[in-house]
Chain A
């Protein structure tokens, strides 16, 4: 059983510009939570606050609480580096490390933790299999990760995140740079992975959210407008703005 998350009164700023306003959101364990909304609504910023990646941008600031199990990630004394080892992230554009081989990419997080050689190989294989990439690359693990196709690169990044056995998996529009076939593969994987992980996925594609997510949250202008089971959000939205958005009246 994976951990859930609980976000309380979370606000975020870039300099003086507030991009997230008092977000309250529970994230259920072993479920897929989709974050949807028009571009610029703060959904990317939101997931970046969950592993404290937001704060690496100069002038960026956060207030509020994010609980991972019992621990508030923003409590004083919490080390962001340790957090990020428990919360994996996959980015919008595939970003394998260009100087490392496929194997080394998948092993990158493990190396940081000083995992010994034998277990390293095991774990890399396991995570590549989890990311459904093993069959395609098992005979060329020494090649550069940059030589793979876009979809394969993204699954390599997924494997890289999974290799350290995180509890939460954050995905920031993981399929937006991919072709339909590769997108389908990623979506299948998301459904598969929720057995072991709690997944939060940002998407601008509502069909995708409806296909993969158990829960969906709709963001607009930095506010959480509505949150609930995907089946309800997409069929019987309570808020007028949500309805406008999902019926394509704006954004």
Chain B
């Protein structure tokens, strides 16, 4: 019976249905999250939501202007650390044939992607917050920058390796130095892919909360100073979400809507950039 062909076909059919079910099961939370974020966040959205500062506890209204600016500044800081760092390590791995050391660096880079971001936050806390004597935007930017490095490194390495050897040889045969070859020929050819990697890394750190808890810390007021605590969108969402005030909870959903939109747009644009020339 168990080995009869009709039964085997039935089993095959059943497993196929189960697989389809798995896909549906994964999509339910995604659509639920997107729907609820939109439905509950939309009422909070208004021009003042983007342009006003948070109101003191107990008062309704107010906005997330400081958190938006803070997140912008933190992303800028993080990128100015993570992008050059990752680019250079990626170039080293892809272009300088580093042998044993390369394997170690590559492996460690992969392992680093798995380090919980809250641990990175603790590290930066004891490295910068303790030594500088307080929470600061700078510390937050450094924490996010460290988180960006492995992603940027890996996409740089992969994309550089996809550039055909014939281009490198053409450039070297023209009498270009290796440095000129890398900077003028190989890197430009790999740029769309690397850009995608960078945008995905930015999308990831834009939503990071845990590493900011004790570095950037959050700020209810307008501040763009590097040596002061700074507000950030995800921090604001967290604070508002666990607060007992209905108005703040609505604002948490509103801020989540903004954050999710930002992150999704970054993700979609990143993929468009990469697929633009058919790769």
A residues in contact (CB < 8 Å) with B: 51, 53, 56, 58, 81-89, 91, 93, 95-100, 108-109, 112-113, 157, 160-161, 164, 170
List residues of chain A with CB within 8 A of the CB of B177.
Answer: 81
Instruction: Please measure, in the bound complex, the distance between the C-alpha atom of A186 and the C-alpha atom of B173, giving whole angstroms.
Output: 19
How many A-B pairs have beta carbons closer than 8 Å: the answer is 71
- B175 touching A164, Cβ below 8 Å: yes
List residues of chain A with CB within 8 A of the CB of B171.
Answer: 97, 108
**Which 7 pairs across A and B sit closest by C-beta, in order of nearness?**
A85-B175, A89-B173, A99-B188, A84-B175, A109-B174, A95-B166, A95-B170
With A95-B164, A95-B167 already in contact, the answer to whether A53 and B173 are too (CB < 8 A) is: yes
- A91 touching B169, Cβ below 8 Å: yes
List residues of chain B with CB within 8 A of the CB of A98.
Answer: 167, 189
- A95 touching B180, Cβ below 8 Å: no
B residues in contact (CB < 8 Å) with A: 97, 164, 166-177, 180, 184-185, 188-189, 191
With A91-B166, A95-B164 already in contact, the answer to whether A51 and B189 are too (CB < 8 A) is: no
- B167 touching A97, Cβ below 8 Å: yes
Q: How far is the CB of A246 from the nearest CB of chain B, in Å?
A: 30
- A53 touching B172, Cβ below 8 Å: yes
Q: Give me 28 A-to-B residue pairs in the complex whose CB atoms sit less than 8 angstroms apart, sorted by A's number.
A: A53-B169, A53-B173, A56-B168, A56-B169, A56-B172, A58-B97, A85-B175, A86-B175, A87-B173, A89-B173, A91-B169, A93-B166, A95-B166, A95-B169, A97-B189, A98-B189, A99-B185, A100-B188, A108-B171, A108-B185, A109-B175, A109-B176, A112-B175, A113-B175, A157-B170, A161-B173, A161-B174, A164-B175
Instruction: Please measure, in the bound complex, the distance between the C-alpha atom of A93 and the C-alpha atom of B166, giving whole angstroms.
Output: 8
Instruction: Please measure, in the bound complex, the distance between the C-alpha atom of A53 and the C-alpha atom of B185, giving whole angstroms.
Output: 17
- A91 touching B170, Cβ below 8 Å: yes
List residues of chain A with CB within 8 A of the CB of B167.
Answer: 95, 97-98
- A112 touching B166, Cβ below 8 Å: no
